[in-house]
Amino acid sequence: MFTAGNNDNKKELDAFKAELSEKDFQAFSDFIYSEYGIKMPPVKRVMLQGRLLKRIRDLNMKSYTEYKEYFFSKEGQKKEIFNFLNVVTTNKTDFFREPIHFDFLKDEVLAQHNGSGTFKVWSAGCSSGEEPYTISIVLNEYKRIAPGFNFSIYGSDISNKVLSNAAKGVYAENKISIIPLEQKKRYFLKSKDRTNPTVRVKPELQRNIVLKHVNLMDSHYDIGETFDVIFCRNVLIYFDRDTQERVISKLCNYLKPGGIFFIGHSESLSGMKVPLEHVKPTVFRKI
Ligand SMILES: C[S@@+](CC[C@H](N)C(=O)[O-])C[C@H]1O[C@@H](n2cnc3c(N)ncnc32)[C@H](O)[C@@H]1O
């Protein structure tokens, strides 16, 4: 056990913590980059050390090296990979994050939609679901004024943990404070337990959403359709430029001609050879 209950334990913890050596860190860092495209430069060593500590405790292991050996073994690559991914990914997200994209979706994309077929949106790197549920609110609101409108939303992520949270659709109540009261009532149910105020998304918000595990680094995505809109926001930021370009090019194969591609506000496509034209900052159209 690595609880710092007394001095001996504290010493043990301090000694233990110091053990993610540069060599072990490099092995994890190389793996994370080659498999998931996520950059893990040396400045992130202490962060990774902290995040792996919980896994090491849960597995009752004695050192980072023991964990590394297990992780890279045949068994570890089968059993530990998903826990590892949950630990190394950064999943920060919010409802109506970067709201100009949702205004653009409503005022430009939906306003020009001809109403035929199913309108399809992909939230690539959807984290715990706030992004696809926000899209669902916008599309459900549009359906209220255009009842014949049909849509489907695809939410994907590499982390099974966030996907399972997305499927549950339960959030701290303060996470939806940005949403107007009318829409809160329409799309969320409040928990009875007011000591821990949470909300649950109503089935109508979940109905048109499919959640799926997708590694954007894979050479092929198991998705047999093309989309009118792709959100890939605050995901590329963790990749280096070549990887970003490769991932965006691949995503473009799943975007209809004229379809819209959103990136996060701290991301850029400038100088990349991808089949997208600039519409406005962080908003692109498939050529
Ligand atoms: C910071 S969150 C962004 C969530 C949401 N798009 C937003 O903007 O609020 C980034 C998400 O990308 C996912 N991710 C990172 N690398 C990925 C990869 N190679 N394939 C698929 N998803 C990945 C992470 O698991 C995480 O949930």
In tens, the pLDDT along 257-273 reads: 999 999 999 999 999 99
Residue type, 212: K
Q: How far is the CA of 232 from the centre of ligand 1 (A)?
A: 8
List, in order of start, the domains of the chain with CATH numbers: 7-88 (1.10.155.10), 100-286 (3.40.50.150)
Closest residue (by CA) to atom 10 of ligand 1? 235
Ligand 1: centre distance to CA 58 (Å): 25
User: Phi-psi region for residue 19, left (φ > 0), alpha (ψ -120 to 50) or beta?
Assistant: alpha
Least reliable range by pLDDT among 8-22, 64-78, 101-115: 8-22
Measured from the Cα of 128, ligand 1's closest atom is 27
From the CA of 157, give the closest atom in ligand 1: 22
pLDDT tens track for 135-146: 999 999 999 999
Residue 173's pLDDT is 97
Residues 173 and 190 sit within 8 Å (Cβ to Cβ): yes
Residues annotated catalytic, as ranges: 51, 157
- What does the pLDDT read at residue 189? 97
Sheet with 198-201: list strands edge to edge.
Answer: 170-172, 198-201, 188-190
Nearest-angstrom CA–CA distance, 138 and 36: 31
92 lines ligand 1 (CB under 6 A): yes
Mean pLDDT (the chain) is 92
Nearest residue (CA) to ligand 1, atom 9: 93
Range of lowest pLDDT (129-133, 192-196, 201-205): 192-196
Are the C-beta atoms of residues 135 and 98 closer than 8 Å to each other?
A: no
pLDDT digit string, tens, across residues 205-256: 999 999 999 999 998 899 999 999 999 999 999 898 999 999 999 999 999 9
Query: What's the angle, vertex CA 219, arms to CA 134 and CA 79, rounded to 5?
Result: 80
Over residues 103-109, the mean pLDDT reads 98
What does the block give as tokens for 57? Answer: 């405790």
Return the closest-CA partner of residue 119 out of 260, 282, 213, 12. 260
Q: What's the rounded Cα separation, in Å, for the pair 194 and 213?
A: 33
CA of 20 to the centre of ligand 1 (A): 25
pTM over 0.85: yes
Helix or strand or coil: residue 156? strand
